[in-house]
Chain A
Amino acid sequence: MKQLESANNSAKKQPHLSPRRVRPLANNPLPQGEEDAKRQVRVGRKRQVTLTFGRLTLALVCLVDLAGCELTNQAPPAVTSRITHVGKKGVNPSPGLKVSLVSLREGRVLFASRCIECHTLPPVWYYKRDDWPGLVDTMAQRAHLKPGERDAIVAYILATREQ
Protein backbone atom coordinates (compact mmCIF):
# COMPACT_ATOMS: atom_id res chain seq x y z
CA MET A 1 0.00 0.00 0.00
CA LYS A 2 2.86 2.32 0.84
CA GLN A 3 4.22 1.91 -2.66
CA LEU A 4 0.80 2.63 -4.11
CA GLU A 5 0.42 5.80 -2.03
CA SER A 6 3.92 6.82 -2.98
CA ALA A 7 3.10 6.35 -6.69
CA ASN A 8 -0.10 8.37 -6.34
CA ASN A 9 1.67 11.17 -4.48
CA SER A 10 4.39 11.21 -7.07
CA ALA A 11 1.81 11.67 -9.84
CA LYS A 12 0.10 14.47 -7.93
CA LYS A 13 3.39 16.31 -7.67
CA GLN A 14 3.84 16.02 -11.44
CA PRO A 15 0.39 16.55 -12.89
CA HIS A 16 1.58 16.40 -16.49
CA LEU A 17 2.49 12.73 -16.13
CA SER A 18 0.11 10.28 -17.66
CA PRO A 19 -2.41 8.76 -15.26
CA ARG A 20 -1.60 5.45 -16.95
CA ARG A 21 1.78 5.70 -15.30
CA VAL A 22 0.15 5.54 -11.88
CA ARG A 23 0.11 1.81 -11.52
CA PRO A 24 -1.41 0.15 -8.48
CA LEU A 25 0.17 -2.97 -7.08
CA ALA A 26 -1.14 -6.31 -8.25
CA ASN A 27 -2.09 -7.33 -4.72
CA ASN A 28 -4.15 -4.15 -4.18
CA PRO A 29 -6.94 -5.10 -1.71
CA LEU A 30 -10.56 -4.84 -2.87
CA PRO A 31 -12.39 -1.62 -2.04
CA GLN A 32 -15.22 -1.99 0.46
CA GLY A 33 -19.05 -1.66 0.30
CA GLU A 34 -20.40 0.14 -2.70
CA GLU A 35 -17.12 0.07 -4.54
CA ASP A 36 -17.21 -3.72 -4.17
CA ALA A 37 -20.52 -3.88 -5.98
CA LYS A 38 -19.31 -1.52 -8.70
CA ARG A 39 -16.23 -3.60 -9.14
CA GLN A 40 -18.30 -6.78 -9.47
CA VAL A 41 -20.33 -5.12 -12.22
CA ARG A 42 -17.13 -4.14 -13.98
CA VAL A 43 -15.74 -7.66 -13.67
CA GLY A 44 -19.00 -9.05 -15.06
CA ARG A 45 -18.89 -6.62 -17.96
CA LYS A 46 -15.30 -7.55 -18.69
CA ARG A 47 -16.21 -11.23 -18.66
CA GLN A 48 -18.83 -10.45 -21.29
CA VAL A 49 -16.25 -8.57 -23.33
CA THR A 50 -13.81 -11.45 -23.01
CA LEU A 51 -16.50 -13.90 -24.09
CA THR A 52 -17.39 -11.74 -27.08
CA PHE A 53 -13.81 -11.47 -28.18
CA GLY A 54 -13.34 -15.18 -27.56
CA ARG A 55 -16.16 -15.80 -30.02
CA LEU A 56 -14.57 -13.33 -32.43
CA THR A 57 -11.28 -15.24 -32.16
CA LEU A 58 -13.08 -18.50 -32.85
CA ALA A 59 -14.78 -16.92 -35.86
CA LEU A 60 -11.40 -15.72 -37.13
CA VAL A 61 -9.91 -19.20 -36.70
CA CYS A 62 -12.83 -20.64 -38.70
CA LEU A 63 -12.33 -17.96 -41.35
CA VAL A 64 -8.63 -18.80 -41.56
CA ASP A 65 -9.52 -22.48 -41.82
CA LEU A 66 -11.99 -21.87 -44.63
CA ALA A 67 -9.63 -19.54 -46.40
CA GLY A 68 -7.00 -22.26 -46.16
CA CYS A 69 -8.90 -24.11 -48.90
CA GLU A 70 -7.77 -21.48 -51.40
CA LEU A 71 -4.31 -21.07 -49.97
CA THR A 72 -2.55 -23.81 -51.83
CA ASN A 73 0.80 -22.85 -53.30
CA GLN A 74 0.94 -19.56 -51.37
CA ALA A 75 4.56 -18.65 -51.98
CA PRO A 76 5.57 -17.48 -55.44
CA PRO A 77 7.04 -20.42 -57.38
CA ALA A 78 10.79 -20.84 -57.05
CA VAL A 79 12.95 -20.07 -60.08
CA THR A 80 14.31 -23.17 -61.72
CA SER A 81 16.19 -23.74 -64.94
CA ARG A 82 12.91 -25.05 -66.35
CA ILE A 83 11.31 -21.62 -65.93
CA THR A 84 14.25 -20.02 -67.72
CA HIS A 85 13.85 -22.57 -70.49
CA VAL A 86 10.17 -21.71 -70.85
CA GLY A 87 11.08 -18.06 -70.97
CA LYS A 88 13.67 -18.54 -73.71
CA LYS A 89 12.31 -21.32 -75.81
CA GLY A 90 8.64 -21.73 -75.11
CA VAL A 91 7.05 -18.33 -75.10
CA ASN A 92 8.97 -15.18 -74.51
CA PRO A 93 7.35 -13.80 -71.37
CA SER A 94 7.81 -10.24 -72.42
CA PRO A 95 9.40 -9.35 -75.76
CA GLY A 96 12.52 -7.30 -75.31
CA LEU A 97 13.14 -8.44 -71.73
CA LYS A 98 16.26 -10.34 -70.80
CA VAL A 99 15.40 -13.66 -69.22
CA SER A 100 18.10 -15.22 -67.11
CA LEU A 101 18.13 -17.25 -63.96
CA VAL A 102 19.63 -14.31 -62.07
CA SER A 103 17.09 -11.73 -63.26
CA LEU A 104 14.17 -14.09 -62.61
CA ARG A 105 15.41 -14.75 -59.08
CA GLU A 106 15.75 -11.02 -58.54
CA GLY A 107 12.22 -10.58 -59.86
CA ARG A 108 10.89 -13.17 -57.42
CA VAL A 109 12.55 -11.49 -54.44
CA LEU A 110 11.33 -8.05 -55.52
CA PHE A 111 7.81 -9.40 -56.10
CA ALA A 112 7.77 -10.90 -52.61
CA SER A 113 9.25 -7.90 -50.82
CA ARG A 114 8.09 -4.71 -52.54
CA CYS A 115 4.53 -5.72 -53.40
CA ILE A 116 3.64 -6.97 -49.90
CA GLU A 117 4.23 -3.49 -48.57
CA CYS A 118 0.69 -2.64 -49.76
CA HIS A 119 -1.11 -5.92 -50.46
CA THR A 120 -0.73 -9.67 -50.23
CA LEU A 121 0.45 -11.50 -53.33
CA PRO A 122 -2.10 -12.86 -55.76
CA PRO A 123 -1.26 -16.15 -57.47
CA VAL A 124 0.48 -15.49 -60.79
CA TRP A 125 -2.39 -17.19 -62.64
CA TYR A 126 -4.95 -14.85 -61.05
CA TYR A 127 -4.66 -12.20 -63.77
CA LYS A 128 -4.41 -12.61 -67.54
CA ARG A 129 -0.97 -12.70 -69.11
CA ASP A 130 -1.54 -9.45 -70.98
CA ASP A 131 -2.84 -7.66 -67.87
CA TRP A 132 0.23 -8.20 -65.69
CA PRO A 133 2.64 -5.63 -67.24
CA GLY A 134 0.03 -2.86 -66.96
CA LEU A 135 -0.88 -3.87 -63.39
CA VAL A 136 2.75 -3.72 -62.30
CA ASP A 137 3.15 -0.38 -64.07
CA THR A 138 0.26 1.17 -62.13
CA MET A 139 1.95 0.30 -58.83
CA ALA A 140 5.62 0.68 -59.82
CA GLN A 141 5.89 4.26 -58.64
CA ARG A 142 4.25 3.54 -55.28
CA ALA A 143 6.62 0.60 -54.79
CA HIS A 144 9.62 2.75 -55.80
CA LEU A 145 10.58 0.29 -58.53
CA LYS A 146 13.35 1.28 -60.90
CA PRO A 147 12.74 0.35 -64.57
CA GLY A 148 15.06 -2.67 -64.33
CA GLU A 149 13.32 -3.88 -61.18
CA ARG A 150 9.89 -3.49 -62.80
CA ASP A 151 11.11 -5.53 -65.78
CA ALA A 152 12.50 -8.24 -63.51
CA ILE A 153 9.16 -8.59 -61.70
CA VAL A 154 7.17 -8.73 -64.94
CA ALA A 155 9.57 -11.26 -66.46
CA TYR A 156 9.36 -13.46 -63.36
CA ILE A 157 5.54 -13.37 -63.23
CA LEU A 158 5.08 -14.09 -66.92
CA ALA A 159 7.71 -16.82 -66.98
CA THR A 160 6.23 -18.65 -63.98
CA ARG A 161 2.72 -18.15 -65.33
CA GLU A 162 3.63 -19.98 -68.52
CA GLN A 163 5.08 -22.91 -66.63
Chain B
Amino acid sequence: MRRFTFLYEANTSAPGSLELENSVSWKSAGGRNGFDQVDFRHELEYGVTDKFQASLYFVDWSYESDREHSEFAYSDTAIELIYNFTNPVLDPVGVSIYGELRAGDRLIELESKVIAQKNFGPIIFAYNATLEAVWKGSELEEREGEFSQAVGASYEFSPRISAGLELLHEFVFPEWRDTGKIGNFFVGPNVSYRRRNWFVTTTALAQATDTDGEPDLQLRTIFGIGL
Protein backbone atom coordinates (compact mmCIF):
# COMPACT_ATOMS: atom_id res chain seq x y z
CA MET B 1 0.00 0.00 0.00
CA ARG B 2 1.37 3.40 -0.95
CA ARG B 3 0.04 6.77 0.18
CA PHE B 4 2.79 8.61 -1.66
CA THR B 5 4.23 7.99 -5.10
CA PHE B 6 7.48 9.97 -4.99
CA LEU B 7 8.22 8.91 -1.42
CA TYR B 8 8.52 5.61 0.36
CA GLU B 9 7.06 4.86 3.77
CA ALA B 10 9.06 3.25 6.54
CA ASN B 11 6.86 0.26 7.26
CA THR B 12 7.50 -2.92 5.30
CA SER B 13 5.10 -5.54 3.95
CA ALA B 14 3.81 -8.36 6.14
CA PRO B 15 5.90 -11.53 5.96
CA GLY B 16 4.62 -13.84 3.26
CA SER B 17 2.65 -11.14 1.47
CA LEU B 18 3.02 -10.69 -2.26
CA GLU B 19 1.89 -7.57 -4.09
CA LEU B 20 1.98 -6.48 -7.70
CA GLU B 21 2.55 -2.76 -8.17
CA ASN B 22 2.37 -0.99 -11.52
CA SER B 23 3.63 2.54 -11.81
CA VAL B 24 3.03 5.02 -14.63
CA SER B 25 4.86 8.37 -14.64
CA TRP B 26 4.20 11.07 -17.19
CA LYS B 27 6.74 13.87 -17.47
CA SER B 28 6.22 16.89 -19.65
CA ALA B 29 8.47 19.85 -20.38
CA GLY B 30 8.14 22.83 -22.67
CA GLY B 31 10.77 25.18 -24.03
CA ARG B 32 13.74 24.45 -26.27
CA ASN B 33 14.38 21.00 -24.80
CA GLY B 34 10.69 20.15 -24.51
CA PHE B 35 9.59 16.53 -24.35
CA ASP B 36 6.96 14.14 -23.17
CA GLN B 37 7.95 10.93 -21.49
CA VAL B 38 5.92 8.12 -19.96
CA ASP B 39 7.72 5.62 -17.73
CA PHE B 40 6.26 2.27 -16.77
CA ARG B 41 7.45 0.07 -13.90
CA HIS B 42 6.09 -3.34 -12.95
CA GLU B 43 7.05 -4.55 -9.51
CA LEU B 44 6.54 -7.71 -7.47
CA GLU B 45 6.92 -6.93 -3.78
CA TYR B 46 7.42 -9.70 -1.20
CA GLY B 47 7.46 -9.46 2.58
CA VAL B 48 10.37 -11.62 3.72
CA THR B 49 10.21 -10.99 7.46
CA ASP B 50 8.44 -8.53 9.73
CA LYS B 51 11.13 -5.97 9.00
CA PHE B 52 12.49 -6.88 5.60
CA GLN B 53 10.96 -6.77 2.13
CA ALA B 54 12.34 -7.49 -1.31
CA SER B 55 11.04 -6.37 -4.69
CA LEU B 56 11.70 -7.27 -8.28
CA TYR B 57 11.02 -4.72 -11.00
CA PHE B 58 10.81 -7.21 -13.82
CA VAL B 59 10.64 -4.58 -16.53
CA ASP B 60 11.04 -0.80 -16.63
CA TRP B 61 10.21 0.72 -19.98
CA SER B 62 9.21 4.07 -21.39
CA TYR B 63 7.68 6.00 -24.23
CA GLU B 64 9.51 9.17 -25.19
CA SER B 65 8.57 11.91 -27.57
CA ASP B 66 10.27 15.18 -28.47
CA ARG B 67 10.77 17.34 -31.57
CA GLU B 68 13.19 14.88 -33.13
CA HIS B 69 11.90 11.43 -32.32
CA SER B 70 9.45 9.28 -30.45
CA GLU B 71 9.76 5.67 -29.43
CA PHE B 72 9.15 2.92 -26.90
CA ALA B 73 12.26 1.65 -25.18
CA TYR B 74 13.17 -0.98 -22.60
CA SER B 75 15.19 0.64 -19.84
CA ASP B 76 16.18 -1.86 -17.17
CA THR B 77 15.30 -4.53 -14.66
CA ALA B 78 15.79 -3.82 -10.97
CA ILE B 79 15.86 -5.27 -7.48
CA GLU B 80 14.98 -3.34 -4.36
CA LEU B 81 15.51 -4.20 -0.68
CA ILE B 82 14.07 -2.38 2.32
CA TYR B 83 14.94 -3.00 5.97
CA ASN B 84 12.93 -1.42 8.75
CA PHE B 85 14.61 -0.44 12.02
CA THR B 86 11.94 1.37 14.02
CA ASN B 87 8.16 1.66 13.96
CA PRO B 88 6.54 4.98 12.96
CA VAL B 89 3.77 4.58 15.55
CA LEU B 90 5.50 3.09 18.58
CA ASP B 91 8.91 4.76 18.24
CA PRO B 92 9.71 8.48 18.09
CA VAL B 93 10.48 8.10 14.37
CA GLY B 94 10.11 5.12 12.06
CA VAL B 95 13.31 4.56 10.11
CA SER B 96 14.15 2.24 7.21
CA ILE B 97 16.99 1.91 4.75
CA TYR B 98 16.50 1.16 1.09
CA GLY B 99 18.78 -0.13 -1.63
CA GLU B 100 18.06 -0.54 -5.33
CA LEU B 101 20.09 -1.80 -8.24
CA ARG B 102 18.87 -1.10 -11.79
CA ALA B 103 20.58 -2.73 -14.72
CA GLY B 104 19.81 -2.50 -18.43
CA ASP B 105 21.69 -2.72 -21.70
CA ARG B 106 22.64 0.97 -21.48
CA LEU B 107 22.08 1.79 -17.84
CA ILE B 108 23.34 0.84 -14.41
CA GLU B 109 22.04 2.69 -11.41
CA LEU B 110 22.62 2.32 -7.69
CA GLU B 111 20.20 4.04 -5.40
CA SER B 112 20.12 4.21 -1.63
CA LYS B 113 17.65 5.92 0.65
CA VAL B 114 17.05 6.70 4.26
CA ILE B 115 13.34 6.67 4.95
CA ALA B 116 11.81 8.36 7.97
CA GLN B 117 8.15 8.40 8.90
CA LYS B 118 5.97 9.46 11.79
CA ASN B 119 2.29 8.75 12.25
CA PHE B 120 0.20 11.17 14.28
CA GLY B 121 -3.24 9.63 14.40
CA PRO B 122 -4.69 10.04 10.89
CA ILE B 123 -1.72 12.08 9.67
CA ILE B 124 1.43 10.56 8.22
CA PHE B 125 4.63 12.50 7.67
CA ALA B 126 7.38 10.96 5.56
CA TYR B 127 10.89 12.03 4.62
CA ASN B 128 13.28 10.39 2.14
CA ALA B 129 16.93 11.24 1.50
CA THR B 130 18.20 9.59 -1.67
CA LEU B 131 21.63 9.21 -3.23
CA GLU B 132 21.91 7.87 -6.76
CA ALA B 133 24.85 6.91 -8.91
CA VAL B 134 24.13 6.42 -12.62
CA TRP B 135 26.21 5.06 -15.48
CA LYS B 136 24.58 5.24 -18.90
CA GLY B 137 25.28 5.19 -22.62
CA SER B 138 26.24 2.40 -24.98
CA GLU B 139 29.47 1.82 -23.07
CA LEU B 140 28.29 3.30 -19.79
CA GLU B 141 30.62 6.21 -20.42
CA GLU B 142 28.32 8.90 -19.01
CA ARG B 143 28.21 9.30 -15.27
CA GLU B 144 25.83 11.21 -13.11
CA GLY B 145 25.10 11.60 -9.41
CA GLU B 146 21.94 12.79 -7.79
CA PHE B 147 21.04 13.72 -4.25
CA SER B 148 17.40 14.33 -3.51
CA GLN B 149 15.22 14.96 -0.53
CA ALA B 150 11.48 14.47 -0.45
CA VAL B 151 8.94 15.37 2.20
CA GLY B 152 5.31 14.36 2.27
CA ALA B 153 2.23 14.56 4.43
CA SER B 154 -0.93 12.56 4.07
CA TYR B 155 -4.22 12.87 5.94
CA GLU B 156 -6.50 9.86 6.16
CA PHE B 157 -10.09 11.04 5.71
CA SER B 158 -11.38 7.48 6.04
CA PRO B 159 -9.72 4.05 6.01
CA ARG B 160 -10.18 4.12 2.24
CA ILE B 161 -9.22 7.65 1.26
CA SER B 162 -6.25 9.83 2.06
CA ALA B 163 -4.79 12.92 0.47
CA GLY B 164 -1.81 15.15 1.05
CA LEU B 165 1.18 16.91 -0.37
CA GLU B 166 4.61 15.88 -1.68
CA LEU B 167 7.70 18.05 -2.10
CA LEU B 168 10.79 16.93 -3.97
CA HIS B 169 14.12 18.75 -4.01
CA GLU B 170 16.91 17.27 -6.10
CA PHE B 171 20.48 18.12 -6.95
CA VAL B 172 21.96 16.60 -10.08
CA PHE B 173 25.71 16.31 -10.52
CA PRO B 174 26.61 15.62 -14.18
CA GLU B 175 29.88 13.67 -14.30
CA TRP B 176 29.88 13.87 -10.49
CA ARG B 177 31.06 17.47 -10.69
CA ASP B 178 29.79 20.15 -8.39
CA THR B 179 30.42 22.86 -11.00
CA GLY B 180 27.54 21.81 -13.25
CA LYS B 181 25.18 21.13 -10.35
CA ILE B 182 21.48 21.54 -11.14
CA GLY B 183 18.88 22.12 -8.46
CA ASN B 184 15.21 21.32 -9.04
CA PHE B 185 12.21 21.70 -6.78
CA PHE B 186 8.86 20.01 -7.36
CA VAL B 187 5.71 20.26 -5.30
CA GLY B 188 2.18 18.92 -5.65
CA PRO B 189 -0.79 17.10 -4.16
CA ASN B 190 -1.47 13.39 -3.85
CA VAL B 191 -4.58 11.30 -3.35
CA SER B 192 -4.93 7.63 -2.50
CA TYR B 193 -7.85 5.22 -2.58
CA ARG B 194 -7.80 1.65 -1.34
CA ARG B 195 -10.29 -1.15 -1.08
CA ARG B 196 -9.94 -4.77 -0.07
CA ASN B 197 -6.64 -5.96 -1.58
CA TRP B 198 -5.97 -3.14 -4.07
CA PHE B 199 -5.09 0.52 -4.02
CA VAL B 200 -4.42 3.39 -6.38
CA THR B 201 -2.38 6.50 -5.58
CA THR B 202 -1.73 9.53 -7.76
CA THR B 203 0.56 12.52 -7.36
CA ALA B 204 0.90 15.59 -9.58
CA LEU B 205 4.13 17.53 -9.16
CA ALA B 206 4.87 20.91 -10.73
CA GLN B 207 8.38 22.27 -11.06
CA ALA B 208 8.74 25.39 -8.94
CA THR B 209 12.22 26.12 -10.29
CA ASP B 210 12.99 27.02 -13.91
CA THR B 211 15.37 24.35 -15.11
CA ASP B 212 15.29 23.84 -18.84
CA GLY B 213 15.31 20.16 -19.80
CA GLU B 214 13.59 19.09 -16.59
CA PRO B 215 9.87 18.28 -16.55
CA ASP B 216 7.50 21.17 -15.80
CA LEU B 217 4.89 18.66 -14.72
CA GLN B 218 5.11 15.12 -13.43
CA LEU B 219 2.12 12.89 -12.90
CA ARG B 220 2.64 9.51 -11.28
CA THR B 221 0.06 6.83 -10.57
CA ILE B 222 0.69 3.57 -8.75
CA PHE B 223 -1.83 0.75 -8.84
CA GLY B 224 -1.21 -2.18 -6.54
CA ILE B 225 -2.99 -5.44 -5.89
CA GLY B 226 -2.33 -8.06 -3.24
CA LEU B 227 -1.86 -11.54 -4.69
Residues of A within 8 A of B (CB): 3, 7, 10, 12, 14-26, 28, 31, 35, 38-39, 42-43, 46, 49-50, 53, 56-57, 60, 63-64, 67-68, 70-71, 74-76, 108-109, 112-114, 116-121, 142-145
Q: Which residue of the partner chain A has the closest CB to B13?
A: A117
Given A67-B155, A74-B120, A76-B90, 13 other A-B residues pairs in contact with their CB atoms under 8 A: A7-B174, A10-B137, A15-B69, A16-B73, A20-B214, A24-B33, A43-B210, A50-B208, A57-B165, A109-B87, A109-B90, A113-B89, A117-B13
CB within 8 Å: A-B pair count: 161
CB-defined contacts of B16 to chain A, threshold 8 Å: 144
CB-defined contacts of B73 to chain A, threshold 8 Å: 16
Interface size counted on chain B using CB atoms at 8 A: 72
The distance from the CB of B11 to the nearest CB of chain A, in whole angstroms, is 6
> Interface SS of chain A: helix, strand, loop or mixed?
helix
The distance from the CB of B22 to the nearest CB of chain A, in whole angstroms, is 18
Residues of B within 8 A of A (CB): 1, 11, 13-17, 27, 29-33, 35, 37, 47, 50, 62, 64, 66, 68-69, 71, 73, 87-90, 106, 119-124, 136-138, 142, 144, 153, 155-156, 159, 164-165, 167, 172, 174, 180-183, 187-189, 194, 196-197, 199, 206-216, 226
The distance from the CB of A36 to the nearest CB of chain B, in whole angstroms, is 12
